[in-house]
Amino acid sequence: MSYVYTFASSLDGLVFYVGQGTGDRVKSHLWDASSSRKKVSRVAQRIRLIWRQGGKVIIRKPYNHIPSDKAFCLESQLIQHYGYEQLVNQDWHTCHKNQWRPSKGKRNGWNIDEMIAKDGAIIL
């Protein structure tokens, strides 16, 4: 089963990313942002900017436990609702060309669950 999620900044409350996934997919963006790599995704760049400005990422899951085909449809509808002007999402074909591979536990020395709970994000 899948879910649809949004990221917003605690600094201005604006949603800047819409995604869908399963398992720990939502955390992959935080792992990317917390890595030491210079080249990261657009969503990870925005997360880094929010962190540098002293903010947090607000994570919402408006749709949970849904079939993947429905998740793709709902993700698309939310992207249309917010619009590409507001979002850092790439177009669908670019975004889904490379499938994400889940990983557990620590990544690059970061325990994402601890980081989320401590200071990196707010899950609503």
Structural domain boundaries in the chain: 2-123
pLDDT given for residue 2 in this prediction? 95
pLDDT given for residue 73 in this prediction? 87
pLDDT given for residue 114 in this prediction? 54
pLDDT given for residue 34 in this prediction? 93
- The pTM score is 0.75
- What's the gap between Cα 72 and its chain centre? 15
pLDDT given for residue 96 in this prediction? 47
